[in-house]
Structure 1
Amino acid sequence: MARARRAGGGQEARAAWAFLSPYLLVLVLFALLPLVWAVTISFQRDTGFGDASWTGLDNYTRLLGDPHFWRATANTALFTAVVTPVSMALGLGAAVLLNSLLPARGFFRSVVVLPMAVSGVATALTGALVFNENNGVLNGLLGALGLPAVQWQSGGTAAFASVVLVTLWWRVGFNALIYLAGLQNVDPTLHEACRLDGANGWQRFRAVTVPALAPSSFFLVVMNVIYSFQVFDIVFVLTGGGPRDATSVLVTYAYDTAFTTRDHGYSAAIGVVLLLLTLAFTVLRWRAARSAEVTG
């Protein structure tokens, strides 16, 4: 009997590995091997021509004194600090409305989620039509109202704001979809009990809805921060990192370093630092969530 159970367990294990092997193969070929190769290149001086030379920690030492790197890091941090909470707040508001007795809810749900079906490059091209400072839709509307045009490409603050606005239009739908799924699992009897106790709508939202959406919020914080750390397509198409590095982020700076100045080793070092920052935030956020669960 025990031998038969062991044989059955062995067959199940082999079947499980057979189903997992394609995914594991793709993971190794397209994630682990490129990661190991990037880390290796980060310790080298490699221009893409001829043999690379080993430089040790020189590329990482250069980062400490590189003002362009620190400007890109500051822009990435600011972009993350703005986009993450604002997109989550707008997504939560949209989800609450779409979960209520709103007329034509199906239509509005499609409108909110529609940007998710568009690629980042297409979104940036759409944003360029709106925010072009010479013949864009928005400056055309401002001119029709007798207001001065905004320098969306030549003004640093305006260029950064255009990137943030286009990103919000693209990301709010994703946040709303996750929050909407979370709202479907909120027990309506809890709201009814609070209503019987005399709680108004805002009190019920704060005491019942927000705590019930904690798992969704944790997931969205991690996903939005990771996306913000890795933002590239919208910035690259919309502003190219300009003007004067006003919208340059870590990924666009790494791209320019690799393909414009052809310093592949230094670009790989920037990528490794970005990976470490992402991992550090994810671990810290996970520990904070675990601590909150234990104390709660």
Structure 2
Amino acid sequence: MTRQLANRPPAITDAGATPPPRPRWSNRSRRDFVVFLALALPNLLLIAVFTYLPLINNIYYSTLNWTLGSASATVVGLENYVTFFTSTDAPRVLGTTAIFTLFTVGGSMVLGLLVALALNSRGRGTTFARAAVFAPYVLSGVGVGLVWLFIFDPGYGVLSWILRGLGQTSPQWINDPELSLVMVIVVYVWKNLGYCAVVFLAGLQSLPQDVLEAASLDGAGNYRRFLSISLPLLSPTTFFLLITTMLSSLQAFDLIRIMTPLGNGTSTLIYEAYLQAFGAYNRAGYSAAISVILFAILLVITVLQLRFVERKVHYS
């Protein structure tokens, strides 16, 4: 008996046993993947068809010498880009775009923050005031442009009527290139400051009140609390608005199209692309090149903001 036990092979314990292979796809994993495809695939297809495919086609069109409506086009490579950057219009268009973006983004954010501070209180009429401030942002840009064009018109506008009553002459807002740019900037800031105000207001209402109360008990006044506590804590909101308003300003079109149809002093990159394609030139390939330049600028600005500006954002 002892000899038989000695010759018996050692039993495999559970600790040394090889676990059975796990299935790569369980029923639950397959079901979750099918649900993911059902929800995400339509959106991905729409993005691919209506965003990335037109972008790729536009890049291809920018390499063509193509007149809009023509059945034939000639491949010219980077000639359209060289033509734009070597033309006398490039400094004017890029400068107008920079000025318009700088003043519209800065004006909308600064005024929006001031309005948000004024509306960050509870009282009678506060809800109506918030709605009134935000209302211009959701209005049609075409409608807003037509109304303000009636106000600024030097011949029969409301502003000219008021100035004539005061014995003054109305400036030529529409005919003067410098004043027309100022006019469009003012209207664009008026239309979009409500968006910045509402976003800043949401940020102000989410600030930790215990920190503000502690600073008040330590003797910090309203101005000191705002600069030292509220403004740094609003950095995520400010960063978000900086990106969104800058991208929106660089793509502003409707107000410029309605208020200055010929682009008299208001030809930003996107409007210059429109004029080159659908104006008197019909240069579709050249217009596509300007659009690609605008896309590259938007991409570079966004990457730089995410790379460097976000470092100073306080998320805690």
Q: Scaled by the length of structure 2, what TM-score is found?
A: 0.89
Structure 2 gaps of 5+ residues are: 1-19
Question: Which amino acid is 2:128 matched to?
Answer: F
Note if 1:21 corresponds to 2:41: yes
Pairing partner for 1:229 from 245, 250, 258: 250
| C-alpha deviation, 1:45, in angstroms | 0.9
Q: Secondary structure at the match of 1:135?
A: coil
Give the aligned partner of residue 10 of structure 1: 30
Structure 1 gaps of 5+ residues are: none
Distance 1:4 1:156 in 2: 67
Note if 1:285 corresponds to 2:302: no
Note if 1:67 corresponds to 2:88: yes
Distance 1:143 1:210 in 2: 44
| C-alpha deviation, 1:80, in angstroms | 0.8
Q: Secondary structure at the match of 2:308?
A: helix
1:224-266 Cα deviation digits (max 9, x unpaired): 11111111111111012543xx111111110110112111110
Distance 2:197 2:140 in 1: 18
1:160-214 Cα deviation digits (max 9, x unpaired): 1110110011110110111111112101111101101111101101111111111
| Residues 51-66 of structure 1 aligned to structure 2 (within 5 Å) | 51-66=72-87
Question: Which amino acid is 2:226 matched to?
Answer: F
Higher-Rg structure is 2
Q: Secondary structure at the match of 2:266?
A: coil
Question: Which amino acid is 2:65 matched to?
Answer: R
Give the aligned partner of residue 254 of structure 1: 273
Note if 1:82 corresponds to 2:116: no
Distance 1:71 1:33 in 2: 31
CA 1:250 to 1:8, structure 2 compared with 1: closer, same or farther past 3 Å? same
Task: Work out whether residues 69 and 253 of structure 1, in 8 Å CA contact, stay in contact via their aligned partners in 2.
Answer: no
Distance 1:264 1:163 in 2: 26
Q: Secondary structure at the match of 1:163?
A: helix
| Residues 1-296 of structure 1 aligned to structure 2 (within 5 Å) | 2-3=22-23, 6-47=26-67, 48-243=69-264, 246-260=265-279, 261-293=281-313
CA 1:269 to 1:208, structure 2 compared with 1: closer, same or farther past 3 Å? same
Q: Secondary structure at the match of 2:48?
A: helix
| C-alpha deviation, 1:99, in angstroms | 1.1
Task: Work out whether residues 236 and 313 of structure 2, in 8 Å CA contact, stay in contact via their aligned partners in 1.
Answer: no
| C-alpha deviation, 1:85, in angstroms | 1.1
Task: Work out whether residues 235 and 241 of structure 1, in 8 Å CA contact, stay in contact via their aligned partners in 2.
Answer: no
Task: Work out whether residues 235 and 313 of structure 2, in 8 Å CA contact, stay in contact via their aligned partners in 1.
Answer: no
CA 1:200 to 1:281, structure 2 compared with 1: closer, same or farther past 3 Å? same
What do you get for the CA RMSD once the two structures are aligned?
Answer: 1.8
Task: Work out whether residues 132 and 139 of structure 1, in 8 Å CA contact, stay in contact via their aligned partners in 2.
Answer: yes
Q: Percent identity?
A: 33
Give the aligned partner of residue 11 of structure 2: none
Q: Larger helix proportion, structure 1 or 2?
A: 1
Task: Work out whether residues 257 and 263 of structure 2, in 8 Å CA contact, stay in contact via their aligned partners in 1.
Answer: no
CA 1:4 to 1:58, structure 2 compared with 1: closer, same or farther past 3 Å? closer
Distance 2:263 2:27 in 1: 64
Q: Scaled by the length of structure 1, what TM-score is found?
A: 0.94
Q: State the aligned residue count.
A: 293
| C-alpha deviation, 1:70, in angstroms | 2.4
